[in-house]
Chains A and B, each alone.
Chain A
Amino acid sequence: MDDLLQEFIAETRETMEALAGEIVAWEAEPSDRARLDAIFRFVHTVKGSCGFLDLPRLARLSHAAEDVLSAVRAGERVPDAGLVNAVLAVVDRIGEIVEAIDAGAALDDSGEELLIAALQGEAAPAVQAQASAPAQRAPTRSVRLTVELLDRMMSGMSDMVLARNELARRLRETGDPAVEASLERLSLTVAEMRDTVTRTRMQKIDALFSALPRMVRDTAAGLGKSVTLAIEGADVELDREMIEMMRDPLGHIIRNSIDHGIEAPAERRAAGKRENGALHVSARQSGNQIIVEIADDGRGIDVDKVIARLAAAGRSEAELRALPDKAKLELVFEPGLSTKDEVTEISGRGVGMDVVRANIEQIGGRIELSSVRGRGLRTTIHVPLTLSIISAIVLGAGEQRFALSRQSIEEIVRVRADGSVRIDRLGTTPIATVRDRRLPLVDLGALLGLAARDRAEPEMLVIVGVVGGSYALAVDSVLDTEELVIKPAAPAVMAPGFYAGQTLPDSGRPMLLLDSAGIAAAAGLHFTRETSAAAPAEADAAEPVQPALLFLDLDGVRRAVPLAAVDRVEPADAAHIHFTAGELRLSVEGRLIPLAAQGTLDGRETVSILRLTDGAGELGYAIAEALDIADLPCALAPAREPGPIAGVVGWQGEQIEMLDPHWLFAEHAVSAGDGAARPVCLLAGREAGWMATFLRPALERAGYRVATALKPGETPSLTLAMDDDAVDADAPVLRLSRERRDGADAIYRYDRAGLVEALARHAAGGRR
C-alpha cells in the first residue's frame, strides 16, 4: 500500500508540473479543447487513484472539479473567469494535499467546502459526469534513481566499450569470421546501450521551463501586472542535476523581473510601451555552455538607486560612482540589497541576487547582466556542460587530435586553386578569404605549438562562429565526426583557455575538446558586436529601395512591377480575355478594361491579372503567377528602347526586368479613363441615330464623350449635325453632308480622314 501511495504522489507531482503550462494556456483560451481535456484527465486520474487509496478529501475535490470540467466539455457550462479560477484553486489544493501526505503532515481542511462551492458557480445546476466517457488512464512507468547509480552505470558502460575494442583487436589477429560476426553483433548492442544509458542523465530543459507559464501568471496577477511570456529552446538537453540546481535561481530572476523590472500597466502606457510586459526566456547551447537568457522590457536597473542604497548602508558613494558601468550594474549582487522601496510578498523575502549568483557559481556557471534604463534587463546565465554529449568534429593538428563542437562550426572548406577560398597575408597577419568573406585566420597547430616550422600552409579551414563574428581555424586534417561524452578537465588543463573539456572516444586515447571562444581570445581576435550588427543596416540604408511585386510572366520570365502601381491581383478566366479591335481586352465587372500581356495565353484556363492603376485609369496586365513582394533597388539599368520593360535591376544575384507602368498606360489606356471628365460631343439633328452608330468610335478615339441629349447644366464642346439641320448652339458646330461636295463648309460624312482632322482641330481648340 505504501508503495502505491508513493507512486501516486510521485506521479501526481509530475503531472502537476506538466500541467502548470496547460492551465495557463487554458485560462488564456478557455475554448481550447485540448487543454481542457488535459486538465480533465488530471483530475480524473487523481479521483480514480483516491478512491482506490482511500483518500476521501482528494476524492471529493477531484470529483467536484471533474464534474464541472465535464459540464464544460459537454457545453453545459461556459468556462468564465470565475470557473477557471475555481478549477485552478482546486488543482493547487490537490497539490498541497499531496505534498502534505508525502511529508506525513496534517493539512487543515477548512476552505475546501468553499472551493467546491466556488466550482458550482452561481446557482448553476449540478451536472452529472456520466456524459463523458472516462479518459483511459495511461500508466507512466517511472522509477527514481540516484545520480550516483547513473554515474556508475555510465562508467561501467564506457569500460565495456573499451573492453570490446580490446577484444576486437585481439580477435582480428585470429581472423575467425564467425567469431567476428558475433562480435559485430555485440558491438551494435553495446553502442545502443551506451546511447541509452547516456541519455538517462540528460533531460530537456523543458522540465525547468514548463512550470514558468504558471509562475509568471501567478506572480504577475499578484502584482496587478500583465506579462506575456515567450519561451524558446525548451528542447535543449542538460544534465538532470544541473536542471535541479537551476530551478531556484531561474525562478528568482523571473520573479525579480516581474516585480522590480516590469512596470505597472499605467506606467507602461505613460512610457509608450505596450501594457503587457514582455518576458523572454530562452535556452541554447553554445560551445561548451548552455546559455539561459531571461530578458524583460521593463525599466531596467536603476544604478543610481542601487548606489544610493549601498551608500546608505555605509559604503563610500564616491568610490561606487567611480566604478565602470559594468561593475556598477553588478552591484545588485551585493548582499542584502533591495532596490524596491517596499518589500513585497513576491520577491522581497530576503533572498537577494547575491544568493542567486552564489547558487549559479556553485555549479560552475556565471551570470551576466545587461540593462538599459527604461528599456529592460537581460540576465544571462552560462552553465557549463558538466556531462553532456555533443556532436563533434575530430580535427588533426600535428600529430594530435582534437574535438570541436559541431554547433560552433559554420562550414569546412579547403583552400582552392581558383581563389574562391584562399589565404592571404596582411603584413604578417594571415587572413582567409572564403568566397566574399574575409575572416581572421588562426592556425591551430601554430597556436598550440604542435606544428613543425617548415610544414606547408594548412589547407583545411574550419569556419568557426563565435559571439560577435567568425574566424577561420586552419587545421592539418578533418578526420571524423563523433558523438562524444564531454567531461570537465582538471584546472591545470583548463588553465590555457584553449579547452572546454576532455573526452574518451572509442579509440581509448583521451582527446581534448577545443573551446572556440577561448581559441579566438588566445589568438588575440577581437569581435565587437556593434560593428558587425550595425554595418549591414547602414549598407541597406545607403541604397534606396522600392517595394515591388515579383511575378512570373506568361513568357516564363521573372519580372517585377512597382507595388504602388498595382491596385490588386486577381484571377481571371482565360475565356474572358479576347483580342478584339486590335487590343487584348478583359471583360470584368460588366465592362471592358484594356489588357497588356507579354507572351501567349494559349493553353491556359486561368491567368492572374495585375490590375494597374494610375489613380484615374485602369489597365490589366496578364501574368502567370504573383511570386513575392520585395524591396528592389531603385537603381535601374534602362532598356535599350522604350517598351513594356523599363529596365533591369539586380537583386539577390538575379536580373529582374522591371515593367514600365507609364509606357503601358500610354500605350494601352488612351481610350480608358473617366468619361465624365471628357468634352461632350452632342449629336444633333435627324441623323443623330446614324452618327451614334457609325461615328461614335471615331469620336471617342478623338477624346470626346458622345451624347445625343444633354443633361441639365451640360454644355457641349462640339455639336455634330448634318448640314441641313437647324442647330441653335453656342458651341462650335461641325456639319456633315450626305454628298461629297468640294469647297463646302461641311464634311462628307464618309470622308474619314477629313473628319478625324476636323475633330482633332476642334479638340485642340476646345482644350486651348
Chain B
Amino acid sequence: MADLFLIARIAGRPVAIASDQVESVVDLGEIVPVPGADARVRGLAALRSKVVTVLDTHVVLGLAADTAVQGRAVITVIDGHHYAIRVDALEDVTPGTLQPLAGGITLGPDWRAIGCGFVEIGGEPVLAIDLRAMIPGIAAAA
C-alpha cells in the first residue's frame, strides 16, 4: 500500500516526509530569535495569524547553525503547536511505501534519532524521517 511522501532536501541530503505529518509548505518570513531557548529552536515566525516555532534542522543534525535569512519550511502540528522545519529545497511529492531499516543498516548518530525507515523512489532509497523526533522539549517517540 502506497502513502504519499514529500521529498525534500535537508542539509544536502534527500529525505522523505510522510504527508500526514505535513500541514503545509511555506516560505518563511522574518525569524525572531528566542533568547535562552534550546539551540534547535531557531526562533519564531509569523504564518498568517499564527506564530510558528522555527526549528534549525542543521543544529538538529549536529551541524553548524543555519544562517539563511529566508527559505522554505514544512509546517507540522504537534500537540497543538505549529512548528516550521527548515528545508533546503523541496523536490517532489510521490507515492511510496515505508520500509524498515533492516539487514544491519545502522544510521549515523546524528540521523539515528529522526530516521524511521526508507522509501524507495525511482530505484533509489531515500531516508524517511519522523518530524516529531526533531522537536525539542516534548516526549520523543511517544
Pair count A-B, CB < 8 A: 87
Contact in complex: A492, B33 (CB < 8 Å): no
* Contact of A492 with B38 in the complex, beta carbons under 8 Å: yes
B110 CB–A CB distance under 8 Å: no
By a CB distance below 8 angstroms, the chain B residues around A504 are: 46, 49-51
Known: A450-B35, A498-B35. A492 touches B46 (CB 8 A): no
Cα of A522 to Cα of B81 in the assembled complex, Å:
25
- Interface residue? B23 (CB, 8 A): no
A495:B49 contact, CB within 8 angstroms: no
Residue of B nearest to A487 (CB): B51
The listed residue (A155, A158, A492) touching B41 by CB distance below 8 A is A492
Interface residues of A in 466-519 (CB under 8 A from B): 487-496, 498-499, 502-504, 508-512
For the complex, would chain A's binding face be called helix, strand, loop or mixed by DSSP majority? mixed
| Cβ contact within 8 Å between B36 and A496 | yes
B113 to A: closest C-beta gap in Å: 15
Q: Which residues of A contact B36 (CB under 8 A)?
A: 448-449, 496, 498, 522
CB–CB A493/B34 < 8 A: yes
Q: Does B49 lie within 8 Å of A158, measured CB to CB?
A: yes
A747 CB, min distance to chain B CBs, angstroms: 103
Q: Does A159 contact B (CB under 8 A)?
A: yes
> When the two chains form their complex, are residues A509 and B53 in contact, meaning their CB atoms are under 8 A apart?
no
For chain B residues 57-104, which have a beta carbon within 8 Å of chain A?
79, 81, 83
Q: Of B34, B44, B136, B138, which is in contact with the most chain A CB atoms at under 10 Å from its CB? A: B34
Closest CB in chain B relative to A444 CB, distance in Å: 9
- Given the known interface contacts A490-B83, A492-B136, the answer about A155 and B35 at a Cβ–Cβ threshold of 8 Å is no
By a CB distance below 8 angstroms, the chain A residues around B35 are 400, 448-450, 496, 498
Is A162's CB within 8 Å of the partner chain B?
yes
Q: How many residues of B are in contact with the other chain, CB < 8 A? A: 26
Q: Is B32 an interface residue, CB under 8 A from the partner?
A: yes
CA distance A156 to B49 in the complex (A): 8
Q: How many residues of A contact B (CB 8 A)?
A: 33
CB closest chain-B residue, reference A156: B49
The closest CB in chain B to the CB of A161 belongs to B49
Roughly how many angstroms separate A162 CA and B83 CA in the complex, as a whole number?
20
Bound-state CA distance A512–B79 (Å) is: 20
Q: Is the CB of B136 within 8 A of A510?
A: no
Partner of A162, one of B34, B38, B48, B81: B48
| Interfacial chain B residues near A489, Cβ < 8 Å | 44, 51, 53, 81
A498 to B38, CA, bound (A): 13
Distance in angstroms between the alpha carbons of A155 and B52 in the assembled complex: 14
Q: Is the CB of A502 within 8 A of B138?
A: no
Query: What is the CB-to-nearest-CB distance from A156 to chain B, in angstroms, rounded to a whole number?
Result: 8
Binding site for A on B (CB under 8 A): 29-30, 32-38, 40-41, 44-46, 48-51, 53, 79, 81, 83, 135-138
Task: Offer 24 A-B interface pairs, CB within 8 angstroms, sorted by A.
Answer: A154-B49, A155-B48, A159-B48, A162-B46, A448-B36, A449-B36, A488-B81, A489-B44, A489-B81, A490-B53, A491-B137, A492-B38, A492-B136, A493-B34, A493-B37, A493-B53, A494-B137, A495-B136, A495-B137, A496-B36, A504-B46, A504-B49, A504-B51, A510-B32
